[in-house]
Amino acid sequence: MPSIDMPLDQMRQYKPALYREADFEPYWDATIAEALKQPLNQELIPYDLPASALECFAVRFDGYKGGRLAGWYVRPSARGKFPAVCMYHGYSGRGTRLLEMVPYASQGFCVLSMDCRGQNGQSQDALVTPEGNQMGWMTKGIRDPKQYYYRYVYADAVRALEVLARREEVDENRIAITGGSQGGAITLAVAALSERPALALPDIPFLCDFRRAMNIACNGPYPEITHFLKQFPSLFDTAVRTLSYCDCMNLSPWITCKTIVSNSLWDDICPPSTVFAAYNHMTCEKRMEIYPYHKHELPYEHSEIKYRAVMETLAR
């Protein structure tokens, strides 16, 4: 199979050493404990969308350490306990919207999406960092792991999952999480940081194996880091240390739920070797769907694979 990266046989064996700091586990234990303790203050705002046997809502809840986050929610009109799906979106995008949730909702699922803070949705970013950053979000707070943007995004995403899991109509034991690119990274992170998911479906995930990705990815957000370091070369070690806390490769050994990862071998935004780096450290039930001629994209057939996995794993 072709690849813009390593040969496939080499990628299957690619398992770089984890580069966790000594306080990696306490860092995340404290962060998630804070995120779970903080009140959600969730609000469902009815949304008028003609959808037979479904109820649609705009969602609002408090972000980690401040700000108001937005999203969408659709549920069956019937009463009962339903399985659920939580969806996360790609870099600079916005949360999955209601009509895109209908295929799952129409099969008796509750479905929620989240807008990442400060990106192209309606979520506020209350994080104020003491110094500036390269355009985008990759270097916001990069001088300090406790101030790094993705620490807050991952904690927000765990809180979004709590919004869903704590709903009275949701069966908290039957929840899937999914997303592509940045959403794939968030899916991996939430699967590692929360015990809620029964199934994780990360697609062409971002934020894996930073040390390699920032040196070989020629398109997309990773170059934000290299552009920043051209301006601040003395901060290289500081930046890599901060990134290590949010590298999904370092988080992936904590994933315990069933996980299906997609990987495209011509992807020059999220290089396929970096996806393998995270995947090869997982010890959960897992499989990878490989698309040899796709770039940062997926074929229709993968949507069916995900749909079947959700139905087989969660539907009763």
Instruction: For the chain, list the domains and their CATH numbers.
Output: 8-314 (3.40.50.1820)
Residues of 43-63 as b/e, b for ≥16 C-beta within 10 angstroms?
A: ebeebeeebeebbbbebbbbb
Which pairing describes strands 170-180 and 110-114: parallel, antiparallel, or unpaired? unpaired
> Which residue out of 92, 144, 171, 296 is catalytically annotated?
296
Question: Is 80 exceeded by the pLDDT of residue 288?
Answer: yes
The pLDDT confidence band at residue 2, using thresholds 50, 70 and 90, is: low
- Cβ atoms 181, 203 nearer than 8 A: yes
pLDDT of residue 315 exceeding 90, the answer is no
With contact defined as beta carbons under 8 Å apart, do 155 and 31 qualify? yes
In this model, does residue 3 exceed pLDDT 90? no
Contacts of 214 (CB under 8 A, 6+ apart): 222, 223, 225, 226
Q: Is it the case that residue 1 has pLDDT exceeding 70?
A: no
Largest CA distance in the chain: 59
pLDDT at 170: 98
Q: What is the pLDDT of residue 4?
A: 85
At 245, the pLDDT band (50, 70, 90 cuts) reads very high
Q: Active-site residue among 3, 123, 181, 244?
A: 181
- Cα gap 170→164, rounded to integer Å: 7
- 125 assigned to active site: no
- pLDDT score of 123: 98
The whole-number average pLDDT for the span 30-56 is 97
Confirm whether 302 is a catalytic residue: no
Q: What is the three-class DSSP state of 62?
A: strand
Rounded mean pLDDT, 52-79: 97
DSSP assignment of 110-121, as one string? EEEEEPPTTSSS
Among 93, 236, 76, which Cα is nearest to 153's?
93
Average pLDDT, the chain: 97
The DSSP 8-state label assigned to residue 96 in this structure reads P
Per-residue pLDDT tens for 96-136? Answer: 999 999 999 999 999 999 999 999 999 999 999 999 999 99
CA distance 226 to 216: 11
The residue behind tokens 């698309």 is 291
261-286 pLDDT tens trace: 999 999 999 999 999 999 999 999 99
Q: Which of 125, 267, 281, 302 is catalytic?
A: 267
pTM value > 0.95 = yes
φ, ψ of residue 18 to 5 degrees: the values are -60, 145
- Least Cα distance to 184 among 38, 312, 288 occurs for 288
Buried/exposed 172-201: b ≥16 CB within 10 Å, e otherwise: bebbbbbbbbbbbbbbbbbbbbbebbbbbb
Residue 275 half-sphere exposure toward CB, CA atoms < 13 A: 34
Q: In what order do the strands lie in the sheet with 54-62?
A: 43-46, 54-62, 68-76, 110-114, 82-88, 170-180, 199-203, 258-264, 286-291
Q: Which CA distances in Å does 174 have to 20, 183, 309?
A: 31, 20, 12
- Residue 74, pLDDT above cutoff 90: yes
On the question of pLDDT at 248 being above 60, the answer is yes
Q: Tokens representing 168?
A: 């009275």
Task: Quick: pLDDT tens for 158-190.
Answer: 999 999 999 999 999 999 999 999 999 999 999
β-pair partners for 205? none
Q: CB of 247 within 8 A of CB of 292?
A: no
**Is 262 a known active-site residue?**
no
The arithmetic mean of pLDDT across residues 86-96, rounded, is 97
Residues 6+ positions from 300 with CB-CB distance below 8 Å: none
- Is residue 136 within 8 A of residue 224, CB to CB? The reply is yes
